[in-house]
Structure 1
Amino acid sequence: MRIDFDPVQCDRDTFYRLMTATVVPRPIAWVSTTSAEGTDNLAPHSFFTISCVSPPVVQFTSVGRKDSLRNIEDTGAFVVNFAPEPLFEQINATATDFPRGVSEFDAVGIAREASLRVKPPRVAASPVALECELHSTVRLGDSTVVFGRVVHAAISDDVMVGGHPEVTKLAPLTRLGKDEWGMLGGVREISRIPYAQWRDGEAQRPEG
């Protein structure tokens, strides 16, 4: 038995809570920007993913017109800082609805680090920073999808193993429903099955 939900019949917040509780876990883009007036902004956005590989493009969604979106529209640049478990409380604190003109870096006490290719600063304690130039935006109802071309990536050598970022060292935070956050938990590894092996009966077929 299933319970049916019609987005036309539900109010906006009810269906929003339903989607954010079922589209999980969601990676977090901890987005730093600088306003046209020079104020540094920092905010987490959990509608975030990779859009393209060549050129490298990432995207996040601003639900409503938040300072991150306004600053990017005005300046054309932002940084996606990785959101790791040890910075859980600081990440949550930067989601506070501070008035425009207040820097979350300063209000929360987060150290900055200069970026290489763009003006907005990185979060010094974050292990990964993707410096982005604005590619484009798409308005969808009450939200705006922001696409950023990655022009530089800076990764701490503390999280690298054999030249590759190691997920257990990154310790990513994710967003779930309500006020819930997720941590890495168990990791499983499995290779994709080449069709030639599948066709020739060499592959171990999944049960069920």
Structure 2
Amino acid sequence: MQLDVNDLAVRDLYQWMTRLITPRPIAWVSTVSIDGVANLAPFSFFNGVGANPPTLMFCPANRRDGSPKDTLANIRRTGHFVVNLVTESLTASMNQTAAELDPDDDEFVIADVEKMESTWVASPRVADAAAALECELHSVVTLGTGPGGANLVIGRILGIHVDDRVVADDGFPDPALLDTIGRMGGNGYVRTTDRFEVKRPAPKR
């Protein structure tokens, strides 16, 4: 089977991409509006970019009417956000915050998620998250316009919060204790409890 993406509707192309690009980590992004209303929403087009400088990215698509989602609108206006990691125990709460709500609705309240004051930015963070990365906006790249139009948000990480309970003896997070989940296609998710290791090739001398 071969597919020419120019022949596909945006919704169909989204299905193809999300069912092939798997598993995807989930950025549970918390922001605050200029009026002080907190927002919390999950995005699975998300990943780290590099450590020098410490940078990450996620991609909020436009709403069905072509307008930007509250997360993107808040980030553009305030210049900051927090990426909270989603562990299995938070799956139901995360899923609740995926609904499209009015800008005046606080997803923390609606999904009964406890918020906590951040250290480096004004956006709140998820109190029960095993880890959270506070970020300032580096740039927004508009990749598409209209319904489903993609926007690439690049953030510089200012500080990291990690629950001591997920830190291993070597001083770094232990994947077995962190227990993050990943997004598959459709309504599917994946646990990260089944892992294996592969040694990297030795460097050439």
TM-score, normalisation: structure 1: 0.91
Residue of structure 1 in register with 2:65 after alignment: none
Say whether residues 1:151 and 2:158 are aligned partners: yes
3-state secondary structure, aligned to 1:62: coil
The letter for the 1-side match of 2:73 is R
Pairing of 1:1-208 with structure 2 (within 5 A) = 3-64=1-62, 65-141=68-144, 142-162=149-169, 163-196=171-204
Q: Deviations over 1:86-117 (max 9, x none)?
A: 11100000001111110000111110111101
Give the Å deviation of 1:193. 1.2
Q: Which runs of 5+ in 2 are unaligned?
A: 63-67
Matched AA of 2:177: K
Give the C-alpha shift of residue 173 in structure 1: 1.1
CA distance in 1, matches of 2:90, 2:166: 15
Distance, in Å, in 2 between the alignment partners of 1:137 and 1:149 is 12
Which structure would you say has the larger Rg? 1
Using the alignment, how far apart are the partners of 1:179 and 1:190 within structure 2?
Answer: 30
Aligned residues of 2:142 and 2:151 also touching (Cα < 8 A): yes
TM-score, scaled relative to structure 2: 0.93
Question: What is the SS of the residue equivalent to 1:164?
Answer: coil
Poorly superposed stretches of 4+, deviation over 2 Å? none
- Give the CA RMSD over aligned residues: 1.0
Aligned partners of 2:117, 2:203: CA distance in 1, in Å?
47
- 1:167-199 Cα deviation digits (max 9, x unpaired): 1111111111011111114111122111448xx
- 1:203 is matched with none
What is the rounded CA distance, in whole Å, between the counterparts of 1:151 and 1:81 in structure 2? 14
Following the alignment from structure 2 to structure 1, what is the Cα–Cα distance between the partners of residues 88 and 53?
29
